Amino acid sequence: MKIVILDSETVSKNDVSLDGIKALAETEIYGYTKNEDVAERIGDAEGVICNKCMITEEVFEKCTNLKYVGLFATGYNNVDTAAATRHGAVVCNVPAYSTDSVAQHTFAFVLNYFNRIAEYNETVQRGDWVNYKLFSYFYIPIQEISGMTLGIIGFGDIGKKVSEIAKAFGMNVIAYSRTEKKITEAGVEAVSLDELLERSDVVTLHCPLNESTKELINKNTLRKMKKTALLVNTSRGGVINEQDLADALNNGEIAHACVDVITYEPMREDCPLREAKNCTITPHIAWAPRKTRERLLEVVCENIKSYIDGKPQNVVND
């Protein structure tokens, strides 16, 4: 079996090994591939593995031998799964590999914001503590999160993990999801989207990007949030209308936003959030600890082996 890896640099900077994949198939590796070059690079290969490259109807039409699409990710909105099915190909993702790291990043945002870690470090570095007469200064307000209400939108593995961490901090947790049963089974209060937005001190997004969640956070939903609320997004950028969020931040409609994902990645110069007030941005790194990426590659290899054995696993298309 021949496999083409289109964007290896999205998972490895030579710090995690791709040898497991190489041991399973004849492997051709590209660090980065432009979307217009995807079909040419796949060529006559039976399999392709990618993270963000677009695998479209046109790609399947040009690459008639393509029967396996493996993802370096849980999300698969870059693959036309209906086209894959029509062309007799399976699409296999890697579920749940980044649960711990994304939940950790979510709370890195929350704690950094409410404890003002970065801001206090800046004051120390410029000499404020050296020149202060008392043992402590606290002129930048910090807050306890115990007793605050955390609202979780989307309650899969990551949403559930976030709820567990929030409870450990003494937060009140409410959640909104299509699968209300999962919420109640976890001992969390299930509420409507409107109620969640109105009650939450922190709103955190953990839902997939699809037609029902695209721009779920927009000018109308933002207006239902508290003016003191923090919005966190470690899911997909397209869940938020970025211009509406920038306007809400600039006009003081909500207090702050922390985002690890944006609609177009890498960030464009004209991204509305780039110059927005009270917005903390990290470059899609919540999933990227080395241990997490090693776990990802283990499942990628298991997916390939299962396909070769005629029993594909983690298939996301019919």
Helix (H) or strand (E) holding 55: none
Clarify whether 265 is annotated catalytic.
Answer: yes
DSSP for 57-121? HHHHHH-TT--EEEESSS--TTB-HHHHHHTT-EEE--TTTTHHHHHHHHHHHHHHHHHTHHHHH
Catalytic pick among 265, 268, 275, 298 = 265
From the list 105, 199, 284, 293, the catalytic residue is: 284
Map residue 150 onto helix, strand or coil.
Answer: strand
Annotated catalytic residue, options 206, 236, 256, 295: 236
CA distance 245 to 223: 10
Residue 61: both structure tokens together: 């039409």
N-terminal to C-terminal alpha carbon distance within the chain: 23
Active site residue 180: no
For the question of residue 236 being annotated catalytic, the response is yes
Q: In whole angstroms, how large is the CA radius of gyration of the chain?
A: 22
Q: Answer whether the bond into residue 266 is a cis peptide, omega within 30°.
A: yes
User: Is the sign of the CA dihedral 291, 296, 297, 302 positive or negative?
Assistant: positive
Whole-number Å distance between alpha carbons of 166 and 169: 5
What is d(CA 298, CA 186) in angstroms, rounded to the nearest whole number? 29
Which residues carry out catalysis? Answer: 236, 265, 284
